[in-house]
Structure 1
Amino acid sequence: MSLRSVLARARYYVREFTGEAAYDRHVAHARSHDPQARVPTRRAFERARTDAREADPREGFRCC
């Protein structure tokens, strides 16, 4: 296995673990269903995602 493939795999896992890839998946899904649809900015997407997570009572109290 080459260094490049090891780094590519590491990048993939880090992006999945941190949630960085969620926006890319959202954009791809939106574009595949309706190419003319407005896609929110990354900032708006992350804000909505955070709001949804904090509104879920199963997540529990979060101080920070």
Structure 2
Amino acid sequence: MPGVNVTRGADGRFIESTVRTADAGPLDSSAAAGPRAILGRVWAAVRGIARWYSAINGGQDYQRYVDHLRRTHPGAPVPSVRDYWRERYAEAERNPTNRCC
């Protein structure tokens, strides 16, 4: 549902503008009922769930590590994705303090 945002202009007068909140649908109600809009929202939800799942399982960890290596150790060789995960799991086995179970 749209809200109203009230701000002061440069001349001191109040200015009202319509603001869409995060849970608001499209401002055009006829577009909200169309199958394309519904499918778009479903795909957006699926992408959001996939990003969440990837984040809790370390999906961005390799890229973050590569960025760190290039930034702080420019001459160091960058391991492959497979080597990175192999070393990470081996470290978890050697040092089991960072586990929930």
- TM above 0.5: yes
Unpaired stretches in structure 2, ≥5 consecutive residues: 1-22, 24-40
Provide TM-score, normalisation by structure 2.
Answer: 0.46
Question: How many residue pairs get matched?
Answer: 60
Rg bigger for which structure? 2
Q: Residue 65 of structure 2: which of 16, 26, 33 is its match?
A: 26
Higher relative contact order (CA 8 A, sep 6+): 1
Give deviations 1:10-33, integer Å, cap 9, x for gaps.
333222111121101101111112
Q: Residue 90 of structure 2: which of 41, 51, 56 is its match?
A: 51
Unpaired stretches in structure 1, ≥5 consecutive residues: none
User: RMSD in angstroms over aligned alpha carbons?
Assistant: 2.5
Provide TM-score, normalisation by structure 1.
Answer: 0.67
Higher helix share: 1
Higher strand share: 2
